[in-house]
Amino acid sequence: MLDDSLYARRVSPLDGAAKPASLPGGVTVRQLKPEARFSLRVKAGAPADAAGFALDQKINSIVVRGGRWSARLGPDEWLIGGPEADAQLIAEEVEATLRDRPHSLVSVSHRNVSLEISGANAAIALNAGCPLDLSDAAFPAGSATRTLLGKCEIVLIRAGAEPSYRVEVWRSFSTYAHGFLVEAAFGLQNAA
Amino acid sequence: MLLIDCPCCGLRPETEFRCGGQAHVARPEKPVDVGDQDWSEYLFVRANPRGVHAERWIHQHGCGRWFNALRDTVSDRFVETYPMGGKPKSTTTEARA
Amino acid sequence: MAQHFRLPSGGRIDRSKPVSFTFNGSKIEGYQGDTLASALLANGVHFVGRSFKYHRPRGIMSHGSDEPSALLSVSRGPGRTDPNNRASVVELREGLVTKSQNHWPSLNFDVGAVNDLFSPVFVAGFYYKTFMWPRSFWDKVYEPFIRAAAGLGVAPDVPDADRYANRHAHCDVLVVGMGPTGLAAALAASETGKRVIVADEQAEPGGSLLHASEETIDGKPAAEWVKETLAVLDARENVILLPRTTVFGYYNHNHVAMTERVTDHVVDPKGAPRERLWQVRAGHVVIAAGSLERPLVFADNDRPGVLLAESVRVFVNRYGVLPGRKIVFATSGASAYQAAVDAKRAGAHVTISDLRLEADCGPELAKARAAGVEVLTAHTVIGTVGAKRVKGLIVAPVTGAGAIGPRRTLDCDCVGISGGWTPTVHLFSQSRGKLAYDEALDAFLPGTSAQAETTVGASHGDYDLARCLTAGYAAGAKAAGSAATARFEATPTLKGFQPVRVMPTDANPAKVRAFIDFQNDVTAKDIKLAVREGFQSIEHVKRYTTTGMATDQGKMSNMNALGIVAGQLDRPLPSVGTTTFRPPYTPTTFGALVGPARDALFDPIRTTPIHDWAVEHGAKFEPVSLWRRAWYFPKAGEDMHAAVARECKAVRDGVGVFDASTLGKIEVVGPDAAEFMNRMYVNPWLKLEPGKCRYGLMLKEDGYIMDDGVVARVAQDRFHVTTTTGGAARVLNHMEDYLQTEWPDLNVFLTSITEEWAVIAVQGPKARETIAPLVSDIDLSPEAFPHMAMREGRICGAPTRLFRVSFTGELGFEINVPADYGRAVWEAIYESGRKFGITPYGTETMHVLRAEKGYIIVGQETDGTVTPDDVGLAGMIAKAKADFVGKRSLARQDLVASGRKQLVGLFADDPSLVLEEGAQVVADPNQPIPMKMLGHVTSSYDSPNVGRSIALAVVADGRALMGTSLFVTTPGGFTRVSVVDPVFFDAKGERINA
Ligand SMILES: [Zn+2]
Q: What angle do CA C202, C207, C210 make, to 5 degrees?
A: 105
Is 60 exceeded by the pLDDT of residue C144? Answer: no
- pLDDT computed for residue A6 by the predictor: 80
Phi-psi region of A151 (alpha: psi -120 to 50; beta: other; left: phi over 0): alpha
- pLDDT computed for residue C385 by the predictor: 97
| Average pLDDT rounded to a whole number, residues B63-91 | 94
Mean pLDDT check: name the lowest of A8-22, A120-134, B35-49, C943-957.
A8-22
Inter-chain CB proximity C883 and B30 less than 8 Å: yes
Is 90 exceeded by the pLDDT of residue C511? Answer: no
Residues of A in contact with C607 (CB under 8 A): 13, 172, 175
**pLDDT tens track for C244-263:** 999 999 999 999 999 999 99
- pLDDT computed for residue C506 by the predictor: 94
The neighbour count for residue C605, using CB atoms within 10 Å, is 17
- pLDDT computed for residue A1 by the predictor: 58
List all residues 6 or more positions away from B71 whose beta carbon is below 8 Å from its beta carbon: B52, B53, B55, B77, B78, B79
Inter-chain CB proximity B3 and C255 less than 8 Å: yes
**pLDDT tens track for C862-902:** 999 999 999 999 999 999 999 999 999 999 999 999 999 99
Is 80 exceeded by the pLDDT of residue C146? Answer: no
Phi-psi region of C737 (alpha: psi -120 to 50; beta: other; left: phi over 0): alpha
Question: Least CB-CB distance to C170: which of A135, A176, A177?
Answer: A135
Inter-chain CB proximity B63 and A131 less than 8 Å: no
Is 60 exceeded by the pLDDT of residue C149? Answer: no
Question: Least CB-CB distance to B15: which of A74, A77, A131?
Answer: A131
Question: Least CB-CB distance to B61: which of A75, A77, A147?
Answer: A147
Domain ranges of chain B: 3-83
Question: Least CB-CB distance to C756: which of A6, A9, A111?
Answer: A111
CA of C872 to the centre of ligand 1 (A): 42
Interface predicted TM-score of the whole assembly (ipTM), two decimals = 0.98
C634 preceded by a cis bond (ω within 30 of 0):
no
Confidence of residue A45 (pLDDT cuts 50, 70, 90): confident
C584 preceded by a cis bond (ω within 30 of 0):
yes
**pLDDT tens track for C677-695:** 999 999 999 999 999 999 9
CA of C431 to the centre of ligand 1 (A): 27
Is 60 exceeded by the pLDDT of residue C965? Answer: yes
| CATH 3.50.50.60-classified regions of chain C | 164-291+423-479, 295-419
Confidence of residue C54 (pLDDT cuts 50, 70, 90): confident
- pLDDT computed for residue C130 by the predictor: 59
**pLDDT tens track for C714-739:** 999 999 999 999 999 999 999 999 99
Contact status, residue B22 vs residue C879, Cβ threshold 8 Å: no
CA of A154 to the centre of ligand 1 (A): 14
Helix axes of C180-191 and C465-479: crossing angle, nearest 10 degrees: 30
Inter-chain CB proximity C601 and A8 less than 8 Å: no
So what CATH class is C295-419? alpha beta
Domain ranges of chain A: 21-186
**pLDDT tens track for C584-600:** 999 999 999 999 999 99
Contact status, residue C408 vs residue C376, Cβ threshold 8 Å: no
Is 70 exceeded by the pLDDT of residue C122? Answer: no
Residues of C in contact with A109 (CB under 8 A): 756, 818
- pLDDT computed for residue C987 by the predictor: 93
Neighbours of chain C (3+ CB pairs under 8 A): A, B
Inter-chain CB proximity A131 and B1 less than 8 Å: yes
Outline where B1-97 has alpha helix (H). 36-44, 92-96
The neighbour count for residue B3, using CB atoms within 10 Å, is 17
- pLDDT computed for residue C551 by the predictor: 85
Q: What span, in angstroms and rounded, lies between the C-alpha atoms of C382 and C277?
A: 46
Question: Least CB-CB distance to B61: which of A75, A77, A153?
Answer: A153
On whether the A21-186 domain is CATH 3.30.1360.120, my answer is yes
Is 80 exceeded by the pLDDT of residue C121? Answer: no
- pLDDT computed for residue C102 by the predictor: 76
Residues of A in contact with C240 (CB under 8 A): none
Question: Least CB-CB distance to B9: which of A131, A145, A153?
Answer: A145
Residues forming beta bridges with residue C948, ordered by sequence position: C943
Is 90 exceeded by the pLDDT of residue C826? Answer: yes
- pLDDT computed for residue A121 by the predictor: 97
Confidence of residue A20 (pLDDT cuts 50, 70, 90): confident
- pLDDT computed for residue B93 by the predictor: 56
**pLDDT tens track for C968-988:** 999 999 999 999 999 999 999
- Using DSSP, state whether C673 is helix, strand or coil: helix
| Average pLDDT rounded to a whole number, residues A161-166 | 98
| Residue C854: exposure state from Cβ atoms within 10 A (0-12, 13-18, ≥19) | buried
**pLDDT tens track for C599-615:** 999 999 999 999 999 99
- Find the distance separating the first CA and the last CA of chain B, reported in whole Å: 24
Using a CB–CB cutoff of 8 Å, tell me whether A30 touches chain C: no
| Average pLDDT rounded to a whole number, residues C133-138 | 63
Q: What span, in angstroms and rounded, lies between the C-alpha atoms of C391 and C413?
A: 5
Select the CATH number that applies to the domain covering C14-122 from these four: 3.40.50.300, 3.10.20.440, 3.40.50.620, 3.40.190.10: 3.10.20.440
Q: What span, in angstroms and rounded, lies between the C-alpha atoms of A61 and A63?
A: 7
CA of A87 to the centre of ligand 1 (A): 28
Residues of A in contact with C596 (CB under 8 A): 128-129, 150, 180, 183-184, 187
Residues of B in contact with A147 (CB under 8 A): 12, 16, 61-62
- pLDDT computed for residue C951 by the predictor: 98
Strands (E), A125-170: 143-149, 152-158, 164-170
DSSP, res C406: -
Contact status, residue C763 vs residue C806, Cβ threshold 8 Å: yes
CA of B12 to the centre of ligand 1 (A): 8
Outline where C402-464 has alpha helix (H). 426-430
**pLDDT tens track for A173-185:** 999 999 999 999 9
Inter-chain CB proximity B16 and A73 less than 8 Å: no
- pLDDT computed for residue B55 by the predictor: 97
Instruction: Kindly report the backbone phi and psi dihedral angles of residue C17, in degrees, each rounded to the nearest multiple of 5, phi listed first.
Output: -125, 85
**pLDDT tens track for B7-61:** 999 999 999 999 999 999 999 999 999 999 999 999 999 999 999 999 999 999 9
Contact status, residue C153 vs residue C83, Cβ threshold 8 Å: yes
Residue C738's Cα: distance from chain center in Å?
35
SS3 content of chain B, % helix, strand, coil (to 5): 20, 35, 45
Own/partner long-range contacts of C861-867 (Cβ < 8 Å, ≥24 apart): C861/C903, C861/C938, C861/C939, C861/C952, C861/C954, C862/C704, C862/C705, C864/C704, C865/C704, C866/C704, C866/C705, C866/C901, C866/C954, C867/C699, C867/C703, C867/C704, C867/C705, C867/C895, C867/C900
For the domain C884-993, what is the CATH superfamily, name and number?
Aminomethyltransferase beta-barrel domains (2.40.30.110)
- pLDDT computed for residue C153 by the predictor: 79
Integer angstrom CA distances of residue C475 from C174, C235, C394, C493, C906: 12, 21, 45, 21, 76
Is 80 exceeded by the pLDDT of residue C127? Answer: no
- pLDDT computed for residue C96 by the predictor: 97
Contact status, residue A63 vs residue A86, Cβ threshold 8 Å: no
- pLDDT computed for residue C553 by the predictor: 86
C930 preceded by a cis bond (ω within 30 of 0):
yes
| CATH 3.10.20.440-classified regions of chain C | 14-122
**pLDDT tens track for C524-534:** 999 999 999 99
Closest C-alpha among C926, C927, C904, C912 to residue C980: C904
In CATH terms, the fold of domain C663-753 is Alpha-Beta Plaits (3.30.70)
Tell me what the pLDDT averaged over chain C comes to: 95
Share of chain C above pLDDT 90, in %: 90
Share of chain C above pLDDT 70, in %: 96
pLDDT greater at residue C133 or residue C885? C885
Q: What is the amino acid identity at position A68?
A: R
Contact status, residue C521 vs residue C56, Cβ threshold 8 Å: yes
Mean pLDDT check: name the lowest of C107-111, C204-208, C339-343, C448-452.
C107-111
**A-C Cβ pairs (cutoff 8 Å, strict):** 172
Minimum Cα–Cα distance from C895: chain B residue: B36
- pLDDT computed for residue C232 by the predictor: 98
DSSP, res C398: B
Is 60 exceeded by the pLDDT of residue C633? Answer: yes
For the domain C164-291+423-479, what is the CATH superfamily, name and number?
FAD/NAD(P)-binding domain (3.50.50.60)
| Average pLDDT rounded to a whole number, residues C478-507 | 96
**pLDDT tens track for C564-585:** 999 999 999 988 888 788 999 9
Confidence of residue A18 (pLDDT cuts 50, 70, 90): confident
Question: Least CB-CB distance to A59: which of B12, B16, B63?
Answer: B63
Residues of A in contact with C263 (CB under 8 A): 190-191
Neighbours of chain A (3+ CB pairs under 8 A): B, C
* Closest Cα in chain C, distance from residue A119 (Å): 17
Residues of A in contact with C757 (CB under 8 A): 110
Integer angstrom CA distances of residue C341 from C222, C313, C334, C419, C476: 18, 9, 12, 18, 34
Helices (H) and strands (E) in chain B, counts: 2, 6
| Average pLDDT rounded to a whole number, residues C390-414 | 96
**A-B Cβ pairs (cutoff 8 Å, strict):** 38
Inter-chain CB proximity C740 and B43 less than 8 Å: no
Helix axes of C640-653 and C843-852: crossing angle, nearest 10 degrees: 60
In CATH terms, the fold of domain B3-83 is Folate-binding fold (3.30.2270)
Closest C-alpha among A173, A175, A29, A51 to residue A111: A173
Interface of A with C in 109-168 (CB under 8 A): 109-111, 124, 127-133, 135, 138, 150-152
Tell me what the pLDDT averaged over chain A comes to: 95
